[in-house]
Amino acid sequence: MTSPMLFRYCGEGEFRPASEYWGSKADTAYVVGEVYKLAPCEDRSQASHNHEFAVIADLWANLPERFKHEPWAQSPEHLRKYALIMCRYCDTQTYTCGSNAEAQRWAKNLRPLCEYSVVSVEGTTVYRFIAQSQSKRAMGAKRFQESKTAVLEYIEDLIGLERGASAKTEAAA
């Protein structure tokens, strides 16, 4: 099963599909008589999702001049993905090479594969960091909120704003 299904709690420990549609999905996905673990799936707010993107766009538009040539300062999306990586909401690929020169060649070839990734070399090892998706499908409500808070605080620290200043400005608008 790839996505949550909707069930209604009927009391006395019984759950039933919320509609005929969900009933047919359940019939396809589950085996009668089998035992399954059930856990709530919290939806996250579209408003919170939109808020993060709006605040990042505003922070990016007001980046200090000293950052204009940084690779992560090309767009709000570059900035968001860079912050996700720096806050460790990323996947890491590691390549061990025979020499530093070989590692430098690997890094040079890996950088263009994803314009948002961060590639670094330490001795003979190449690390490639790719930001994790914040889509509803990829991150639940709790993890999204954690990543959103971390990203906004990271960007505020990066540009020298008081933590929470961007949220206050957005709320006042």
Residue pLDDT, tens place only, 65-75: 999 999 999 99
pLDDT of res. 70: 95
Mean pLDDT of the residues in the chain: 89
Binned at pLDDT 50, 70 and 90, residue 168 comes out as: low
Kindly report the number of other CB atoms within 10 A of residue 85's CB atom.
22
pTM beyond 0.95: no
pLDDT of res. 22: 85
* Rounded Cα–Cα distance for residues 150 and 152 (Å): 6
Residue 76 contacts residue 152 (beta carbons within 8 Å) = no
